[in-house]
Amino acid sequence: MRNQNPKSETRNGITEDPLKIEKAERLKLLPPYLFKEIDRQKEQVRAKGIDIIDLGVGDPDLPTPSHIIEALKIAGSDPANHRYPSYSGMADFNSAAANWYKGRFNVDLDAGREVVTLIGSKEGIAHIPLAFINPGDIAIVASPGYPVYHIGTEFAGGESYFVDLLKENNFLPDLEAISPEVAQKAKMMFINYPNNPTAAVATKSFFESVVAFAREYNVIVCHDAAYSEMSFDGYSPISFLEVEGAGSVGIEFHSLSKTYNMTGWRIGFAVGCEDIISALGQVKSNIDSGAFQAVQIAGIAALEGDQACVEDMRQTYAERRDILVAGLRSAGLSVEKPRATFYLWVDVPKGYTSAEFASLLLTKAGIVTTPGNGFGAAGEGYVRMALTVDRERIREAVERIEGIGL
């Protein structure tokens, strides 16, 4: 409803009546963005003088490796990099991405036609529905899942059909449970493995079933692989594009954010089916002006440089994971030890909802977690904890949780 009695404001002695501003319906339909709401609650608690241990948003606390920073310093000083970049990305960055995929997954890509540079993978994920979704079209989206899959679909005028990720299915969607009527109307499907928020991983046979489903129903597959390099105990996640036929039905999003601790740099890329990549690039050319070229050059240094920093990152998070898993179990909580991502998907104790337990941890222990239902209805019964503080703070978090007496 419009505000019928807006307050007048006086500027420079002149009384001005403000516009009757009404948000678009697409914004009214959206819930508060999950992590923005967490930030609001966190500040309320901090204002009371409570020391907060933040296990909420998945933002690495580790610094970007020094050789990447040095590459940015040099590139940022070059005036040639201060002008508009290419919409689809520097040829050298796209080639570095293609070469990295070949070395990591043995997937051959044409850098000129099957790679597009993104201003972080979130940007590409949010924009790709604009390339394919018409009003009323369906996108198949996992619940719980990264909120942007649904939000991007909503912004494009589409409808999300949610498939539940359940523990008994190893947090993989049951494709056979999707009715033929829904599948035939579906235009796109978003999948994400290693998974946020459940930390589940996918098998090659699962990806094969996704390809078969996509072929049968003519569905575009968008695989978010942002956590492919965050893996432990010798486990190495595979790429969706390693599966036969995947390159003709879908694309894969990758981000340098988690792999190289570059969340604030906003650089990523998408690879895969040429026609899908081209359509995403067409959307982007009408919306943004490309990623800052100096950041792309730093991205090349990341992809082509010494990967010891990635192994160091894995070791750091593995140590933190082991401390927190052991501590949570000692405190009486149920949690699986993840093989990938830097998240723990923790069962909520009996008698609590996800939001109630997250609130308890925040108000009684000063620990920020993310309620599972914030990622979708099927996330009820869990909270997500991110391994984004050092070992001593994790040990302190465990002591605080034990002090609650669950």
* Structural domain contains residue 12: no
**13 has pLDDT over 70:** no
Mean pLDDT of 39-43: 80
**272 has pLDDT over 90:** yes
Higher pLDDT, 370 or 18: 370
Instruction: Residue 151: name the closest of 36, 323, 315 by CA.
Output: 36
> pLDDT, tens digit, for every residue of 278-312?
999 999 999 999 999 999 999 999 999 999 999 99
* Structural domain contains residue 96: yes
> pLDDT, tens digit, for every residue of 209-254?
999 999 999 999 999 999 999 999 999 999 999 999 999 999 999 9
Q: Which amino acid is at 156?
A: A
* Structural domain contains residue 3: no
End-of-domain residue from the set 304, 325, 352: 304
Higher pLDDT, 26 or 257: 257
The rounded mean pLDDT for the chain is 94
**Residue 25: per-residue pLDDT:** 87
Among all chains, which residue has been given the structure tokens 């998408």? 270
For residue 314, the domain's CATH number is 3.90.1150.10
Nearest 5°: CA angle at 256, between 251 and 257? 115
**Residue 1: per-residue pLDDT:** 43
Q: Do 138 and 261 fall within a single domain?
A: yes
> Residue 6: pLDDT band by 50, 70, 90 thresholds?
low
End-of-domain residue from the set 304, 331, 366: 304
Neighbours of 215 (CB within 10 A): 12
**2 has pLDDT over 50:** no
**Residue 35: per-residue pLDDT:** 66
Q: How far is CA 270 from CA 35, 116, 150, in A?
A: 24, 5, 19
Q: Do 247 and 205 fall within a single domain?
A: yes
Which residue range forms the structural domain that includes residue 178? Answer: 66-304
Least confident of 27-36, 163-172, 201-210: 27-36
Q: Where are the alpha helices (DSSP H) in 156-227?
A: 180-185, 204-217
Q: Do 77 and 147 fall within a single domain?
A: yes
If one counts the domains in the chain, the total is 2
Q: Do 242 and 112 fall within a single domain?
A: yes
Mean pLDDT of 337-365: 95
Torsion of CA 337, 233, 311, 367, to 10 degrees: 10
CA distance 133 to 268: 23
DSSP annotation of 119 reads S
Least confident of 65-79, 356-370, 378-392: 356-370
